[in-house]
Chain A
Amino acid sequence: MLERQTSLAAGTPAGRARSGAGSLVGRTLLRFRPRSLFGKYAITIVALVVFVLAVNGTVEAWIIYRESIAKVTDAQRQAATTMTEQVNRLFAGLERLTWVTRASAVTLQDRRSDYLLLLKSEPAVSDVMFVDADGHQQLDVTRDRATMYADTDVSQDPAVIRALAQPQSIGTSLGSGHEPWLVLTMAHSGLRAGATIARIKLSELSRLFDDVPFEDASYGYVLDDTGVVVAASKTSPVAIGTKLGADKAVEPLLKDLRTSSKPVGAIEGHGVIRSAAPIESTHWTVVIETPTREALRPLTDFLLRLAWLMVLGLGLAILAGLMLARRMIGPIQALHAGAASLAANKFDHRIVVETGDELEELAAQFNRMAGDLANTYGRLEVKVQERTQDLRLSVRKLESLEETGRALSSSLDLSAVLSTVVSRAVALSQADAGAIYTIPAGGDMFALAEADGFPPSLRTAPSGSGCVLDTVGWNEPPAVIDDVEADSRRLPAHELTLAAGFRSALIVCLDGSLGTRAALVVYRKQPGGPSSWAPDVMQTFAHQAVLALHNAHLYQELISKGRQLELANAHRTQFFANMSHELRTPLNAVLGYSELLYDGLYGALPDRALGVLDRIQANGKHLLGLINDVLDITKMEAGGLGITVSDYSVQTLVEGVFAATEALAKTKGLAFETRVPNDLPAGRGDDRRLTQVLLNLVGNAIKFTDHGEVRIEASRMEDSFHIAVRDTGPGISADQQKRIFDEFHQVEDEITRTKGGTGLGLSISRRLMELHGGHIDVVSAPGEGATFTIVVPIRAVDQKRAA
C-alpha cells in the first residue's frame, strides 16, 4: 500500500491518474455496498432518473390515450356520418323512383318499359316487380332474367303487405334461399292501383361503405330498427343478417348507441371502441367499430418506446451515477485513506486528487498538514533520539560503574583487587595503560604497586621524585595532563613513559585505601583534553576503588593478625601443656618419695618427721591440683577440651565422691551423708568430668564448712538429674554469687584466704556442665550455708561437638 502510494507520488500525473482510476474502478466494484456513500449516490441518481422517466411516461401515456381515443372516435363519427349521408343519399335517390308509379302506365308493357328504364338508371336496383291490389305479382323485371309475367299470389309477403298498406316503405327481406334484399315499396297512385316493389341487393348497400374513409382496422355495419345487420363493411367481422338486437345484452347498447357515440361494450369478446349515428328516415343505425388494441396502438407503441427509453435511461443513469459517484466518492475515499494513513503515523503518504475543485484543494491542505506533521514528528523523533542517546550513555556509565563496584567488592584479596582496579580504570577511561603507585612503609617516594598495559621497562623503573603524584590530594578532582610533552608536570618515570609512547594521562588520588599514600594513573597514547577523560566518572570510580582497596587492605591485615593470634594461641597451649608436664614430673618425685618415706621404706622415722612428710604431701597435692586446674582452663580456652560420653550411674558417681571425701569430712568433724533414690535411670555423659565437678563442689563444701554437715542429694526432674551439695558453711552473698564462677575468683574474706585454692575450680565446673548441656545453680545467703546444684540432662550430648 505504502509502496504503491510512494510510486504514485513519484510517477507522472498521467500515470498517476491512470493507475488511480484503475484502482478506483476495481475498488468501487469490489466495495459496492448500498449503505456506503458510493452506493447511496448511485442508487439515488438511478432512482431519480427512473422516477422522472416514469412520471413523464405516465403523463404522456395518459395524454396519448386520450388523444388516441379522441382521434378514433372522431374518425368513427366521421365515418358514421359519411355512411349516414351515403345511405340517405341512396334513399333520396330511391325517392326519385316514384315516377314509375304514375298512373299513366296502364299496361303491363308500359310498366315494363318504365321498369327497364329504372333498372338502367339505378344500378343498385336488381329487380322491380309490380303487385296488384290483391297481392298478386303481375310483373317482375330483373337485370339478368327475362321479364316475367305471372299472376303469382304473394299477398302474404310482409313486404307486399307493407307495400299495399303504405304509400312508401323501405324494409329488408331476409327470406331464405335467396340473397337478402333491401325492399322498397311504392304504392301506385289511384284506387287499387297496386304497388311497385323494387329490390336492391343488400350487398349494394354494403358497397356504400367503400366510400367511407376508415381508419386502420376500423369497420362499420348498419343495424335496422330490429337490430339486424343489414349492411357491413368488407372488414367487418359481423355478417349481414346477424341479429344483434335479439341479444338482450346488446339491447341497452343499441339504445345507448342511438343516443351516444361513447365507446362502450364489447363484441365477441374483443375490446372495441364504437361510434354510431342514426339514420332518421328508417330508424337504422350506422355503427363504426375499431378494435381497442388497434385504436390504442399509438399508446402501446408509445409504451414500448417508453420502456426502451426507460431501459436506456436506466442504463445511462447507472452509468452517470457511477461516473458521478466515482468522481465524487473517489476523492473522498482518497481523503479517507489519507486520513487513516495519517492516523497510523504514515506521514509520507500523499493524497492524489485531481478534480480541480474544492476536493483537490482539501486534499492539498491535507497533504500540507501531513507534511507539517511529518516535520514536527521528525523533529520530535530527533529530539527523542538525542535524549535517548544521552540517557543510554549515562546509563552505560552507571552500569559500568556499578559493574566495576561489584567487581571490586567481589574479592577481598588485595592483589586481585589492585589488579581489578587498574584494569577497570583502563577500560572505563578507554585508556591504553594504567598503574597504581604507593609510598611503601618507611619510604618517601611513590613506587609502582600494580600496572596494566605497561611495557617491562616501566614495570621496574623508579618513579623519581617531584612528580605529579605528589600534587594530587584526596577528594580533589583528578589531574589531567592533556599532552605530556607540552606539560610542565612530570609523570612517574617521566622519560621512560614518554619513550613508551604515552601522551596523555589522568591522575587520581587513592589516599586512605592502603594505609599509605596511593594514586591511580591511566595513560593514553593520544593527547586528549579533560572532557575526553570524563574526570567525574573517574572520581566516582576512585571512591569505589578506595573503598574496595581499603576493605581488602583491612581484610589482609585482619587475616595476618588472625594468623599471628592463632599461632600465639597454639604456642601458649603447647607451652602450658609442656609446663604442666614439666611441673608435674618433679612433683611426682616429691610426692612419691615422701610417700615411700612415710611408709618407712627407707627406715623408720620419728613422729615429727612423719608430720612434716604429711605437710609435704598435702602441699604437693595442692600444687598438683593447681597445675591441673590451670591446664584444664587453658585447654578450655584453646577450645581443646571435650567430654567423652558413656553410660553412668548417679548412685555410683555419688558413692565414689563420697568415698573420696569421707575421710576429709570426718577429719573436720562434719556430718556427711548422701541421699540418692534407688530408681534413678542410667545417665549418659562424661562420668569422670561429672565426678570432677561433684568432687570440686563437695571439696569446697567441706573446705568452707567448719561446723554442721555436708549433704549430697540426687533427684530426677523431668529430663535432668539434679545433684545438690548442701553445707552449713558461712554462705555466699548475692553479690559474690555472681562472680564465683568467673576465672581466678575466690570469695575474698578472711576464711577463704586461709583456705587457699586457685579459684579455678568453680569456673572449670561451670564450663564442664555447659559442655554437658547443663549448668550449676547456687542458693545461699551469708550465715545460712550454701547449696550448689548440678543440673545435667539425663542423656547429655557433647555441646562442643554438637555445636
Chain B
Amino acid sequence: MTKRILIIEDTKDNRNILNDLLTPAGFMMFEAENGEDGVALAATLRPDLILMDVQMPLMDGYEATRRIRANPDTRHIPIVAITSYALSGDEAKAVDAGCNGYVAKPFSPRAILAIVRNLLADA
C-alpha cells in the first residue's frame, strides 16, 4: 500500500523539492501551504507521515503539531519537523511539541529520504 505523506510548508520551492524527491521514491504526496490547512488536511487524509515546516506565518509548525497531537484521529501520525537551522534551538521545541524527528534547513533531500524511509519502515 502506498504510503501517504503530507507536506505542510509555506515555501513553494521546498514543497516542490520534497515532492520531486519523494514521489519518485514511491510515496503519495499531499501539500498544505499553512498550519491551519495542514491540521485540517491531516484530519481528513490521515496520512502516514507529516513533514512539518516550523517557521510559517499565521500558525507555526509547533502549534500545528500540538493540534494534530490533540486530535485522537491524527495523534499517532509521525511528524518530522523541518527546523530553521541546525543551531537555532528549534529542534528541542519541535520535540517538545510532539515531533518524532527533525531535519534542519537547508535540508539535504538525501537526508530527508533516509529519515522518511526509516520512520515509515517502523510503522
Distance in angstroms between the alpha carbons of A644 and B91 in the assembled complex: 12
Judged by a CB distance under 8 angstroms, whether B122 is at the interface is: no
Partner of B20, one of A585, A586, A602: A602
Q: Is A592 among interface residues, defined by CB-CB distance under 8 A?
A: yes
- A residues at B contact (CB < 8 Å): 580-581, 584-589, 591-593, 595-596, 599, 601-602, 620, 624, 628, 631-632, 644, 688-689, 692
Question: Are B24 and A601 in contact, with the CB atoms below 8 A?
Answer: yes
9 pairs from A and B in contact (CB 8 Å cutoff): A584-B84, A589-B14, A591-B108, A592-B13, A592-B109, A599-B109, A628-B86, A644-B89, A688-B86
With known contacts A595-B110, A601-B24, A688–B105 Cβ distance under 8 A = no
B105 touches A588 (CB 8 A): yes
Q: Which of chain A's residues has its CB closest to B10's CB?
A: A585
List CB contacts (< 8 Å) of B1-30 with chain A. 11, 13-14, 17, 20-21, 24
Determine if A595 and B108 form an interchain contact, defined as CB atoms under 8 angstroms apart.
yes
CA distance in complex: A631, B104 (Å): 15
Contact of B85 among A584, A592, A593, A620 (CB under 8 A): A584
Q: What residues of chain A lie closer than 8 Å to B89, measured between beta carbons?
A: 644
A584-B105, A601-B20 given; A592·B14 CB < 8 A: yes
List the A side residues contacting B87 at CB < 8 Å.
628, 632, 688-689, 692
Chain A residue at minimal CB-CB distance from B25: A601
| Residues A581 and B55 in contact in the complex (CB < 8 Å), given A592-B107, A688-B87 | yes
Contact (Cβ within 8 A) A624 B106? yes
Are A588 and B92 in contact, CB atoms less than 8 angstroms apart? no
Q: Which residues of A contact B21 (CB under 8 A)?
A: 596, 601
Task: Give the most central of B17, B87, B92: most A CB within 10 Å.
Answer: B87
Smallest Cβ-Cβ distance to B109: which chain A residue? A595
Nearest-CB residue, chain B, relative to A591? B106
Minimum C-beta distance from A155 to chain B (A): 193
| Residues in B whose Cβ lies below 8 Å from that of A596 | 17, 20-21, 109
CB neighbours of A588 from chain B (8 A)? 11, 13-14, 105-107
Determine the chain B residues whose CB is within 8 A of the CB of A599 once the complex forms.
Answer: 109-110
Residue of A595, A631, A632 contacting most chain B CB atoms (<10 Å)? A595
Contact partner of A589 (CB less than 8 A), chosen from B11, B55, B85, B108, is: B11
Q: Which residues of A contact B85 (CB under 8 A)?
A: 580, 584, 624, 628, 631
Across the two chains, which residue of chain A brings its CB closest to B108?
A595
In the assembled complex, the Cα of A151 lies from the Cα of B92 at a distance in Å of 200
Say how far A623's CB is from chain B's closest CB, in angstroms: 10
- Of the four ranges (under 10, 10 to 19, 20 to 34, 35 or more), the interface on chain B belongs to 20 to 34
B12 and chain A: residue at smallest CB distance: A589
Least CB distance from A691 to B in Å reads 10
Task: Give A595 to B105 CA distance when docked, in angstroms.
Answer: 14
Are A593 and B13 in contact (CB-based, < 8 A)? Answer: yes
Residue of A585, A628, A689 with highest tally of chain B CB at under 10 A:
A585
Residues of B within 8 A of A692 (CB): 87
Measured between beta carbons, the chain B residues less than 8 angstroms from A689 are: 87
Q: Which residues of chain B are within 8 angstroms of A589 by Cβ–Cβ distance?
A: 11, 13-14, 17
Which residues of B lie under 8 Å from residue A591 when comparing CB positions? 106, 108
Contact with A along B83-114 (1 / 0, CB 8 A): 01111010010000000000001111110000
Q: What chain A residues lie within 8 Å of B24 (beta carbons)?
A: 601
Q: How far is the CA of A303 from the CA of B107 in the complex (A)?
A: 157
Measured in the bound complex, the distance between the Cα atoms of B109 and A624 in whole Å is 16
User: Chain B nearest CB: distance from A763 CB in Å?
Assistant: 15
> Do A585 and B11 form a contact, CB below 8 Å, given A601-B20, A628-B87, A644-B92?
yes
Question: When A and B form their complex, which 5 residue pairs have the shortest distance between CB atoms, in order from nearest?
Answer: A589-B13, A592-B17, A588-B106, A591-B106, A588-B105
Instruction: A596-B21, A688-B87 are known; give 11 further A-B pairs, CB within 8 A.
Output: A580-B85, A584-B106, A585-B11, A585-B105, A588-B14, A589-B17, A599-B109, A599-B110, A644-B89, A688-B86, A689-B87
How many Å from the CB of A34 to the closest CB on chain B? 110
Bound Cα distance from A58 to B85, whole angstroms: 146
Residues of B contacting A624 in the complex (Cβ-Cβ under 8 angstroms): 85, 106
Chain A contacts for B84, CB-based, 8 A: 580-581, 584
Distance of B103 from chain A, by nearest CB (Å): 11
Q: How far is the CA of A591 from the CA of B17 in the complex (A)?
A: 10
A688: B residues at CB distance < 8 A: 86-87
Residue of B nearest to A764 (CB): B87
| Chain A nearest CB, measured from B16 CB (Å) | 8
State the CA gap A632–B55 with chains docked (Å). 18
Bound Cα distance from A632 to B88, whole angstroms? 9
Give chain A residues whose Cβ lies under 8 Å from the Cβ of B14: 585, 588-589, 592
Residue of B at shortest CB range from A621?
B106
| Complex contact A587–B106 (CB within 8 A) | yes
Closest chain A CB from B98 CB (angstroms): 19
Give the CA-CA distance A334 to B61 in the complex, in Å.
Answer: 113
Q: How far is the CA of A632 from the CA of B87 in the complex (A)?
A: 9
Residue of A nearest to B23 (CB): A601
Q: Which residues of B contact A644 (CB under 8 A)?
A: 89, 92
Of all chain A residues, which has the CB nearest B111? A595
- Distance from A574 Cβ to chain B, minimum over Cβ atoms (Å): 14
Complexed CA–CA distance, A370 and B92 (Å): 101
Interface residues of B in 67-81 (CB under 8 A from A): none
Min CB distance, A688 to chain B, in Å?
7
Closest-by-CB residue of A relative to B112 is A592
Task: Kindly state the separation between the CA atoms of A606 and B92 in the bound complex, as whole angstroms.
Answer: 42
Instruction: Check A592/B92 contact, CB under 8 A, given A632-B87, A692-B87.
Output: no
Q: Please report the C-alpha to C-alpha distance between residue A631 and residue B88 in the assembled complex, in whole angstroms.
A: 9
Nearest CB to that of A627 among chain B residues? Answer: B85
- Complexed CA–CA distance, A628 and B84 (Å): 10
Q: How far apart sit A587 and B11, CA to CA, in the bound complex (Å)?
A: 12
A599–B85 Cα distance when bound, in Å, is 23
In the complex, the answer to whether A593 meets B55 with C-beta atoms within 8 Å is no
Q: Which of A581, A586, A588, A592 has the most CB of B within 10 A?
A: A592
Residue of B nearest to A588 (CB): B106
Q: Select which of A586, A593, A628 is within 8 A of B17 by beta carbon.
A: A593
Residues on B with C-beta less than 8 A from A586 are 13
Give Cα distance in the complex from A602 to B84, angstroms: 26
B70 to chain A, nearest CB (A): 27
Shortest A591–chain B CB gap in Å is 5
**How many Å from the CB of A765 to the closest CB on chain B?**
12
What residues of A have a CB within 8 angstroms of the CB of B108 in the complex? 591, 595
- Using Cβ atoms and an 8 Å threshold, which residues of chain B touch A632? 87
Shortest Cβ distance from residue B25 to the other chain A in the assembled complex, whole angstroms: 9
Given the complex, which residues of B lie within 8 Å of A580, measured CB to CB? 84-85
Inter-chain contacts of B55 with A (CB < 8 A):
581
Q: A620–B106 Cα gap in the complex (Å)?
A: 10
Q: Which residue of A lies closest to B92 (CB)?
A: A644
- In whole angstroms, how far apart are the Cα atoms of A580 and B87 in the complex? 13
Chain B residues lying within 8 Å of A602, measured Cβ to Cβ, are 20
Nearest CB of A to B51, in Å: 13
Q: Complex Cα distance A596/B85, Å?
A: 20
Q: In the complex, which residue of chain A has the Cβ closest to the Cβ of B113?
A: A599
Q: How far is the CA of A589 from the CA of B109 in the complex (A)?
A: 11
With a CB–CB cut-off of 8 A, which chain A residues contact B86?
628, 688
Contacts of B107 in A (CB 8 A): 588, 592
Q: Name the B residues within 8 Å of A587 (CB-CB).
A: 106
In the complex, chain A residues whose CB is within 8 Å of the CB of B109: 592, 595-596, 599
Give chain A nearest CB distance to B12 CB in angstroms. 9
Kindly state the separation between the CA atoms of A644 and B87 in the bound complex, as whole angstroms. Answer: 11
A-contact bits for B44-78, CB 8 A (1 contact / 0 none):
00000000000100000000000000000000000
A contact residues around B20 at 8 Å (CB)? 596, 601-602
Set of chain B residues within 8 Å of A601, measured between Cβ atoms: 20-21, 24
Cα A599 to Cα B109 with chains together (Å): 10
Q: Which residues of B contact A592 (CB under 8 A)?
A: 13-14, 17, 106-107, 109
Given the complex, which residues of B lie within 8 Å of A628, measured CB to CB? Answer: 85-87
Give the distance in Å from the alpha carbon of A518 to the alpha carbon of B12 in the complex. Answer: 64
CB closest chain-B residue, reference A620: B106
Give the complex CA separation of A595 and B111 in angstroms.
11
CB distance from A711 to the nearest CB of B (A): 26
Nearest residue, chain B, Cβ from A692? B87
Kindly list chain A residues whose C-beta atoms are within 8 Å of the C-beta of B13: 585-586, 588-589, 592-593
